[in-house]
């Protein structure tokens, strides 16, 4: 594989998934309780879709070709896509048609701050289900609260992506960097019988491009579509994912 810190292409991601697939069976997060109870050697591939369903849809098709089963967590409250639109519904249908799970990427400041009884979460999931027609069986939290990190496996009957068992071995490309270092090396040094790997479709594409630069290109595209300034959309993106695009998307 090429240098991990300098390659954000689908080719690199495919090679990484091949390494994972050679050692583990891919499973959706909704099946985590049964898989963990059976001590299965599984990999849970998770995608938090913060800004672009189009890129999520493209990745879902590729993963199906690669033999990868994944969980796509999408937002009911993203400022960049509307789950109720025909294009969004078509994207969700495509992702599911390729064998993947759709879950909810919950954003407490917008969806509602969590309460001990999880009534707010239940209401948000009910709204999500009404709009999408998809039952929410797993949830990830956008900028998760400390109460969810290392918390219970099930929250109001739904799998918590940040549960303690699912963080026993956890790799993530959050903010456009592999925090744990070279992921391929980590695959060779397992820390648990099961792996959860978080990959944001936002950072990946057909050709290698520095993540923040790829984000800038997306912001430029969104600014044209929304008839807004690049700066306004860049500020919105920064507030949403805490990564600032470059000043010039070129």
Residues 13 and 96 in one domain: yes
* Residue 107 falls inside a structural domain: yes
Enumerate the H helices of 22-139 as residue ranges. 32-37, 53-66, 86-97, 108-111, 119-132
* Residue 39 falls inside a structural domain: yes
Please give the span between the terminal C-alpha atoms of the chain, in angstroms, as a whole number.
Answer: 27
Residues 103 and 180 in one domain: yes
Residues 55 and 82 in one domain: yes
Please, what is the Cα angle at 89 between 61 and 142, to 5 degrees? 80
Structure tokens at 207: 């050709």
* Residue 220 falls inside a structural domain: yes
* Residue 249 falls inside a structural domain: no
* Residue 246 falls inside a structural domain: no
Residues 177 and 142 in one domain: yes
Structure tokens at 199: 């990959």
Structure tokens at 188: 């060779």
Taking the CA atoms of the chain, what radius of gyration do you get in angstroms?
A: 17
Which residues are paired to 196 by β-bridges? Answer: 44, 170
Report pLDDT for 113.
81
Question: What residues contact 29, with CB distance under 8 A and at least 6 apart?
Answer: 44, 46, 71, 101, 103, 137, 138, 159, 161, 166
Residues 106 and 26 in one domain: yes
pLDDT digits (tens, 9 = 90+) for 58-73: 999 999 999 999 999 9
Residues 46 and 78 in one domain: yes
Report pLDDT for 250.
45
Residues 123 and 10 in one domain: yes
* Residue 93 falls inside a structural domain: yes
* Residue 223 falls inside a structural domain: yes
The domain total for the chain is: 2
* Residue 247 falls inside a structural domain: no
Low-confidence ranges of the chain (pLDDT < 70): 1-5, 145-147, 248-250
CB 76 within 8 A of CB 111: yes
Please, what is the Cα angle at 226 between 225 and 231, to 5 degrees? 105
Residues 88 and 118 in one domain: yes
CATH number, domain at 147?
A: 3.20.20
Report pLDDT for 248.
54
Report pLDDT for 79.
93
Residues 31 and 94 in one domain: yes
CB 23 within 8 A of CB 187: yes
> In terms of residue numbers, what domain contains 235?
211-241
Residues 232 and 126 in one domain: no
pLDDT digits (tens, 9 = 90+) for 97-134: 999 999 999 988 888 788 888 899 999 999 999 999 99
Residues 36 and 144 in one domain: yes
Residues 145 and 224 in one domain: no
């Amino acid at each position: 594989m090429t240098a991990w810190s300098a390659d954000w292409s689908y080719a690199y991601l495919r090679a990484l998934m091949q390494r994972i697939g050679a050692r583990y069976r891919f499973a959706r997060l909704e099946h985590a309780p049964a898989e963990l109870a059976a001590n299965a050697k599984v990999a849970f591939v998770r995608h938090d879709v913060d800004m672009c369903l189009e890129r999520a849809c493209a990745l879902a098709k590729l993963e199906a070709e690669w033999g990868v089963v994944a969980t796509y967590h999408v937002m009911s409250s993203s400022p960049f896509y509307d789950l109720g639109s025909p294009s969004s519904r078509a994207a969700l249908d495509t992702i599911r048609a390729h064998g993947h799970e759709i879950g909810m990427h919950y954003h407490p400041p917008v969806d509602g701050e969590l309460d001990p009884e999880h009534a707010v979460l239940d209401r948000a999931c009910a709204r999500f289900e009404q709009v999408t027609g998809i039952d929410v069986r797993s949830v990830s939290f956008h900028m998760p609260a400390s109460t969810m990190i290392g918390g219970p496996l099930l929250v109001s009957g739904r799998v918590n992506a940040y549960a303690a068992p699912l963080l026993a071995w956890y790799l993530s490309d959050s903010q456009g960097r592999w925090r744990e270092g070279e992921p391929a090396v980590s695959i060779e040094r397992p820390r648990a019988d099961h792996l959860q790997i978080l990959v944001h479709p936002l950072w990946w594409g057909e050709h290698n491009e520095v993540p923040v630069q790829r984000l800038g290109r997306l912001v430029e595209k969104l600014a044209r579509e929304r008839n807004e300034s690049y700066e306004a959309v860049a500020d919105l993106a920064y507030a949403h994912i805490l990564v600032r695009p470059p000043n010039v998307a070129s």
